[in-house]
């Protein structure tokens, strides 16, 4: 193993830069040449490769976004483009590819592995929705961003005795909604894993406000409802006018938390050590607070759903 490449793929997540830095510096420390691929799989297909030296990744450890840029590349689902990507890697003498991204990016890495490319995947997405790992880089920062935003919204909501709806990301998963809902004392959390009819939301608001609550925060995971649909339903059925805030890309940007920057360093180290020890085609998974290398098939057989206990506790505490 002489030369490796690294790319970031899918939605960016705070801590991706810290992972790129750690892959580059740990790789060079171990005597490897490291090449950065810009714009994920799209850049790989377009041959956007350039060598990375230690100093090229200076000053990024605590910066959001990704120095390498990222992209979604729908054509990469097609075998023809996967074969082309494998040929590009061969042309540039790349012995292994480190992919930093979510489930989709890992599926891309697995497709390349099936064509004989040696890969490793480092989990990076704010959604925390990947198979095989309890934790994905970026989740903690996104949670903290949501909690900070909701606590500001709470101030105004309290001052005006109002109901506020806050829409958070997470794609098809409710991890961000449940984690932030628990941490900021949301009254109601709507997630795709636990469908709740909007009539029940109105009933809950009605009961708790009759019992003395003066304001409520409803966190809506984007995969459960559109926040404006929730708002319109409440308006129609309760004759009150909730505010709506869609947090959007606020959740993907910003300096990574200490946890995310640390996880990035530890997972990157595991990826490089694994490659040098002859491990191939694995996810650097966090399991019971340890970083393990899990072969993709094994990783895909393990899921970490939203905690029922956390979800239930939100409703116990938010009355």
Catalytically active residues are: 127
Among 52, 21, 22, 25, CA closest to 36 = 52
Q: Select the binding partner of residue 276 from ligand ADP, ligand F6P, none (C-beta < 5 to 8 A, by kind).
A: none
Q: Select the binding partner of residue 300 from ligand F6P, ligand ADP, none (C-beta < 5 to 8 A, by kind).
A: none
Among 4, 5, 8, 10, binds ligand ADP (CB under 6 A): 10
Among 19, 94, 126, 221, binds ligand F6P (CB under 6 A): 126
Per-position x/- string for 94-113, each x denoting binding to ligand F6P as judged by CB under 6 A, each - no binding: --------x-----------
121 binds ligand F6P (CB under 6 A): no
Q: Select the binding partner of residue 252 from ligand ADP, ligand F6P, none (C-beta < 5 to 8 A, by kind).
A: ligand F6P
What percent of the chain is helix, strand and coil (3-state, nearest 5)? 45, 20, 35
DSSP at 14: T
Q: What count of other Cβ atoms lies within 10 Å of the Cβ of residue 298?
A: 15
Per-position x/- string for 144-183, each x denoting binding to ligand F6P as judged by CB under 6 A, each - no binding: -------------------------xxx------------
**Of residues 252-291, which lie at the interface with ligand F6P (CB under 6 A)?**
252
The CA-atom distances, in angstroms, between 195 and each of 64, 131, 140, 200, 201 are 33, 22, 25, 11, 11
State the number of binding residues for ligand ADP (CB under 6 A): 18
CB of 208 to ligand F6P, least distance (A): 29
Q: Select the binding partner of residue 212 from ligand ADP, ligand F6P, none (C-beta < 5 to 8 A, by kind).
A: none
Nearer to ligand F6P, 105 or 157 (CB): 105
Per-position x/- string for 211-240, each x denoting binding to ligand F6P as judged by CB under 6 A, each - no binding: -----------x------------------
DSSP at 54: G
Among 257, 205, 268, 251, CA closest to 231 = 205
Helix or strand run (H / E) with residue 35: strand 33-37
Task: Identify the three-state secondary structure at position 74.
Answer: helix
Among 28, 107, 266, 302, binds ligand ADP (CB under 6 A): 107
CB of 136 to ligand ADP, least distance (A): 9
Q: HEC profile for 226-283?
A: CHHHHHHHHHHHHCCCCEEEECHHHHCCCCCCHHHHHHHHHHHHHHHHHHHCCCCCEE
Among 7, 11, 81, 182, binds ligand F6P (CB under 6 A): 11
| Cβ-proximal residues to 177 (8 Å cutoff; 6+ apart), any chain | 168, 170, 189, 190, 191, 219, 220, 221, 224
Nearer to ligand ADP, 26 or 39 (CB): 39
Q: Which residue is nearest to ligand ADP (CB)?
A: 104
Helix or strand run (H / E) with residue 165: strand 163-168
CA distance 293 to 282: 6
Interface region with ligand F6P, contact rule CB under 6 A, candidates 53-61, 125-133, 230-238, 264-272: 125-133
Among 3, 63, 69, 72, binds ligand ADP (CB under 6 A): 72
Binding site for ligand ADP (CB under 6 A): 9-11, 41, 72-74, 76-77, 101-105, 107-108, 111, 125
């Amino acid at each position: 193993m002489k030369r490796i490449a690294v790319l970031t793929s899918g939605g960016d997540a705070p801590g991706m830069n810290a992972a790129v830095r750690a892959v580059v510096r740990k790789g060079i420390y171990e005597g490897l040449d490291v090449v950065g691929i810009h714009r994920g799989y799209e850049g790989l297909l377009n041959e956007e490769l350039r060598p990375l030296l230690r100093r090229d990744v200076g000053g990024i450890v605590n910066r959001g976004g990704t120095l390498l840029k990222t992209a979604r590349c729908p054509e990469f689902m097609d075998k023809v483009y996967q074969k082309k990507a494998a040929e590009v890697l061969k042309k540039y003498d790349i012995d292994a590819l480190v992919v930093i991204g979510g489930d989709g990016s890992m599926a891309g890495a697995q497709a390349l592995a099936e064509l004989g490319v040696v890969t490793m995947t480092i989990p990076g997405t704010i959604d925390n929705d990947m198979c095989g790992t309890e934790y994905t880089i970026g989740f903690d920062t996104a949670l903290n961003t949501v909690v900070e935003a909701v606590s500001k919204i709470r101030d105004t909501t309290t001052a005006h005795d109002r109901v506020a709806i806050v829409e958070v990301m997470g794609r098809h998963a409710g991890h961000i909604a449940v984690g932030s809902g628990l941490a900021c004392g949301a009254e109601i959390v709507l997630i795709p894993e636990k469908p709740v009819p909007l009539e029940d939301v109105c009933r809950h608001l009605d009961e708790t406000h009759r019992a003395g609550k003066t304001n409520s925060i409803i966190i809506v995971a984007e995969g459960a409802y559109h926040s404006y649909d929730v708002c319109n339903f409440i308006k129609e059925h309760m004759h009150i006018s909730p505010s709506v805030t869609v947090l959007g890309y606020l959740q993907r940007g910003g300096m990574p938390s200490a946890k995310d920057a640390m996880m990035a360093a530890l997972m990157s180290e595991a990826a490089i050590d694994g490659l040098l020890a002859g491990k191939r085609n694995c996810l650097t998974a966090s399991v019971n607070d340890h970083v393990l290398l899990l072969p993709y098939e094994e990783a895909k057989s393990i899921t970490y759903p939203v905690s029922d206990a956390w979800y239930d506790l939100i409703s116990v505490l938010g009355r």
